[in-house]
Amino acid sequence: MIRERTLNGLVLVLLLAVPLWAMFNDQPFTITLATRAVIFALAAVGLNIALGLGGLVSLGHAAFFGIGGYAMGILAHHAQTYTPVMELPFLIEGTKSMPVIWLVAMVTSGIAAFLIGILSLRTAGVYFIMITLAFGQMFYFFSISWAAYGGEDGLLIYVRNDFPGLNTLVPINFFAICFTILCLVLLLNGLLARSPFGLALNAARQAPQRVQTVGLDPQRLKLVAFVISGVITGLAGALFADLNRFVSPTMFSWQMSGEIMIFIILGGNARLCGPVVGAVVFVMLEHFLGGLSEYWHIYLGALLLLVVFFARGGLVGLIAGREVAHD
């Protein structure tokens, strides 16, 4: 058994080492793959704040992932066609600047998370799972028929967006951006979990009446967690769109929501690096099993079943054991 903190460090070092190795060995695709894993991990870290800390099983996080993606797609699309996003009531121009796009992605997905959260939190349990799924599906079908931005075909961005001082077209540079963001968000997540807010949220998940009797509103705590969660997943969506230089309604699909959740369950629910481990392992399985057989989904399914049976608490739980209470 390794301590969880050591494991977390090990995971991040490995995640950084592989692309660096790939860079020196001229394996740019390995870097792309690692970037994909990092971005998925970021999306799942976002969900983990709602799911792990707040106990909010959202099967609609693709909504935020997609909103982030479309924020990037729409802004960059207008920038590359030199048309304004809108002229009335005030002029909004497109942009190719990553920081601006991230900000827009985070704000819009935050607003969406607030609205979806306020309505969804009236329900609990399976109903919550399903109402979030319903909101996700609304976005999905809307994006499919939104002809102005490509409908099902999606939006293509010819060149990756700019980041001040870096050539983002170099794979390792874009990886570095994503990896840095992931580390910052993990740091934030760690702080959040230990903060008074995290403490109260954690208690709201386990014993909502208790939280009420100390004069705190569990619903409000959960709503704020849901918004933070949506903002992070939205940011991941913007990065994912930039990785592919392409957005499409599949980012909104319920399978996407399911995958984000599976990263968490696979890695370990409520573990700081659970989503990271889950996303990395999933991307590797997808990549390597895909080469083995046309019917690789069968192997993937069997492996996931094994995880459910023999690794309660996910892979992190398997390696680091039952979560030790914070000191």
Partner 1 sequence: MTEPILATHSLQKSFGALMATDDISIDLYPGEIHAVIGPNGAGKSTLIAQICGGLKPDAGRVELLGKDVTLTNTLTRAKAGIGRTFQISALAMEDTVLQNVLLGAVGDIGSPWRFLRPVLNDGSLRSKAADALKRVGLQDHAATRTSDLSHGQRRQLEVAVALTLKPKAFVMDEPMAGLGAEGSKTLTGFLDGLREEAPILLVEHDMDAVFALADRISVLVYGKIIETGTVDQIKSSKAVREAYLGGDA
Partner 2 sequence: MSTILIIEQILNGLQSGIMLFLMAAGLTLIFGVMGLINLAHGSLYMIGAFAAAAVAGLTGSFVLALIAAMAAAAIAGVLVEMLVIRRLYATDHLDQVLATFALILIFSEGTRWVFGSFPLFLDIPDYLSGPVTLPGGIQYPFYRLVLICVGLLVAAGLGLLITRTRIGIQIRAGENDREMIAALGVDISKLYTLVFALGAALAGLAGALVGAIQSVQVGMGEPVLILAFVVIVIGGIGSIKGALIGALLVGLTDTLGGVFLPQLFKLFMEPSAAQSSGSALASMAIYILMGAVLIWRPTGLFGARP
Partner 3 sequence: MKLKSLILSTALAALASGASAEGVKVGMITTLSGGGAGLGIDVRDGFMLAIGQSDRTDIEVVIEDDLRKPDVAVQLADKMIQSEKVDVMTGIIWSNLAMAVIPSATAQGKFYLSPNAGPSALAGKGCHKNYFNVAWQNDNLHEAAGAYAKGTGYKNSFILAPNYPAGQDALTGYKRMYDGELAGEIFTKLGQTDYAAEIAQIRASGADSVFFFLPGGMGISFLKQYADSGVDLPVVGPAFSFDQGILQAVGDAALGVVNTSQWNKDIDNATNAAFVETFQAEYGRLPSLYASQGFDTANLLISALEIAHPDDADAFRTALEAANFDSTRGDFEFGPNHHPIQDIYAREVIKEGDVYTNKIIGVALENHSDAYAVDCSF
Write out the residues near partner 2 by the rule CB under 8 A: 51, 57, 119-120, 122-124, 126-127, 129-131, 133-135, 137-138, 141-142, 144-147, 254, 258, 261-262, 264-266, 269, 295-298, 300-305, 307-309, 312
| Burial class, 26, CB count within 10 angstroms (exposed 0-12 / middle 13-18 / buried 19+) | exposed
Q: At 14, which amino acid appears?
A: L
From the list partner 3, partner 2, partner 1, none, partner contacted by residue 131 (C-beta under 5 to 8 A by kind): partner 2
Q: Which is nearer to partner 1, 91 or 326 (CB)?
A: 326
Give 26-30 contacts, CB < 8 A, sequence gap 24+.
Answer: 28/171
The footprint of partner 3 on residues 289-318 (CB under 8 A) is 290-291, 294-297, 303
Does position 204 interact with partner 3 (CB under 8 A)? The reply is no
Does position 189 interact with partner 3 (CB under 8 A)? The reply is no
Options 118, 126, 166, 284; binder of partner 3; rule CB under 8 A: 284
Site string for partner 3, 30-69 (x = CB under 8 A): x-xx--x---------------------------------
CA distance 157 to 39: 18
Options 164, 214, 292, 309; binder of partner 1; rule CB under 8 A: 214
Does position 8 interact with partner 1 (CB under 8 A)? The reply is no
Q: Is the Cβ–Cβ distance between 270 and 254 less than 8 Å?
A: no
Name the residue with tokens 């870097």. 31
Q: And the tokens for 184? A: 């910052």
> Alpha helices of 195-217 — where are they, by DSSP H?
196-206, 208-213
Q: Which is nearer to partner 2, 6 or 123 (CB)?
A: 123
Cis peptide preceding 208, ω within 30 of 0 = no
CA distance 191 to 183: 12
From the list partner 1, partner 2, partner 3, none, partner contacted by residue 276 (C-beta under 5 to 8 A by kind): none
Q: Which is nearer to partner 2, 16 or 311 (CB)?
A: 311
CA distance 21 to 326: 35
For the beta carbon of residue 321, count every other beta carbon within 10 angstroms. Answer: 13
Q: Is the Cβ–Cβ distance between 59 and 257 less than 8 Å?
A: yes
- Output the smallest distance, CB 218 to partner 1, in A: 9
CA distance 198 to 192: 5
Does position 180 interact with partner 1 (CB under 8 A)? The reply is no
Q: Is the Cβ–Cβ distance between 61 and 47 less than 8 Å?
A: yes
Name the residue with tokens 């083995």. 292
Does position 106 interact with partner 1 (CB under 8 A)? The reply is no
For the beta carbon of residue 81, count every other beta carbon within 10 angstroms. Answer: 9
Crossing angle, helix 4-24 and helix 274-290, to 10 degrees? 40
Does position 165 interact with partner 1 (CB under 8 A)? The reply is no
Does position 93 interact with partner 1 (CB under 8 A)? The reply is no
Q: Given the rule CB under 8 A, which residues bind partner 3?
A: 25, 27-30, 32-33, 36, 141, 144-145, 147, 150-154, 156, 158, 171, 240, 244-246, 248, 250-251, 284, 288, 290-291, 294-297, 303
Q: Which residues bind partner 1 (CB under 8 A)?
A: 188, 191-192, 194-203, 206-207, 209-217, 221, 224, 323, 325-327
